Amino acid sequence: MRTTSTISVALVLALAFAFAVPIPATADVVAGPAPGPMPAAIGRTLYVTNSATESGDANITRFAVNADGTIRPVDTVAAGHGARGMAITPGRRFAYVAASNANEINGYRIGPDGSLSRFATVPTDSPIGIVTSPDGHTLYVANQAAKSVTVFGVQRDGTLMRRATVSLGPDSPSPKDIAVTPDGRFLYIGLGVLGEDGPAMLTGLAIGAGGIPGRQVARAELGQFSGEVLTTPDGRFLYVVCTDTDDIFGYRIGRDGQLTPVSHLPAGDRAEGAAISPDGRLLFVAGAALADTGGPITGFTIGSDGALTPAGTPILLRTPAAVAFSRDGRHLYATDFETHNIITFDVARDGRLTTVQTQSSGGVQPAFQAITVL
């Protein structure tokens, strides 16, 4: 495994409050009352963001999920150039997509059938990691080039209002992904992206009044180039993958937000995306390898103490970038960046994968965090 030199990184947290000041709306913002009841398509809809980082014609393809876990395309909607992750509010009424190359967040209303209708575009600098608070009242966005996290309030009609910008400081590594604990008390930020020297970092911040992250509660040095950051459904453990050192780090989350190491293992060539099963037993990592040999989907079981144990045999794709579980945990979906496909797997209880379908993603270059299951 490659090694990196150690550097000292100071995280300067400067809060810029702007409560109750609406973000200027673009022409496609539609005002109106809050939508009706929760969509009926829960567990039967899957979205793939196609980043189109080279062509600029990004979109979101909606798929219907069949009873056997296979998917069929339904329709597509436009998205900003470089579309990456999608955050959905807990009531499944609104979806927000980070369009990295367009420097914007796209907001969508979710229809009863899972259809998306864009109603807002909000500017923010180089967004990539995106997540909502457990209560759905706050949206957090990691801004890669700006080295900051923007905090938005989610209004009843889905519009976003900027609450604060948390600056990580000019000497900080750039943020890539963020995660909020299920109890909404802590925000964890993975720092360090391709092209930056030195190790990646993981920092944890306590979430205060108004959903604003403030006091630092944890800091850990990782491998190099952080990827996905995610917590187990019960909020006990946190995992982060590192792309250039091909490994995954696991931590126990303490009551005060501090992190205790519990696992550190190889995670496949160019490890980037990751997903945890709904029952918290399995974790899979997508290794977006650049070599002709392909990149692996690597599985692990999660022990009661948070330790990871390799499970099953890695499955090779061309350039897997994102993975996500079905809501029942019986199927795993993976995107392939270069072939523009989404692959469906059956998941055995011991973590073995069986390929059951290969389907076009409906666009070009489905990238980091490209899959979301409603």
C-alpha span between 29 and 7 (Å, rounded): 44
pLDDT in tens, 265-276: 999 888 999 999
> How many CB atoms sit inside 10 A of residue 316's CB?
15
pLDDT in tens, 312-322: 999 999 999 99
Q: For residue 145, give both structure tokens.
A: 């080039």
Q: What is the 3-state secondary structure (H, E, C) of 222-278?
A: CCCCEEEEEECCCCCEEEEEECCCCEEEEEEECCCCCEEEEEEEECCCCEEEEEECC
| CA 42, 186, 310, 285 torsion-angle sign | positive
Confidence band (pLDDT; 50, 70, 90) for 323? Answer: very high
- Report, in angstroms and rounded to the nearest whole number, the Rg of the chain calculated over CA atoms: 19
At residue 121, does pLDDT exceed 80?
yes
Task: Please give the pLDDT value at position 14.
Answer: 37
Q: For residue 359, give both structure tokens.
A: 């389907």
Please tell me the least confidently modeled range out of 51-65, 103-117, 179-193: 51-65
Of 38 and 132, the one with more pLDDT: 132
In the chain, the amino acid numbered 287 is: G
Phi-psi region of 369 (alpha: psi -120 to 50; beta: other; left: phi over 0): left
Widest distance between CA atoms in the chain: 54
* Percentage of the chain lying above the pLDDT 70 cut: 88
Confidence band (pLDDT; 50, 70, 90) for 198? Answer: confident
Alpha-helix runs per DSSP H in the chain = none
At residue 199, does pLDDT exceed 90?
no
> How many CB atoms sit inside 10 A of residue 43's CB?
11
pLDDT in tens, 165-180: 999 988 899 999 999 9
For the chain, give the mean pLDDT: 88
Confidence band (pLDDT; 50, 70, 90) for 195? Answer: confident
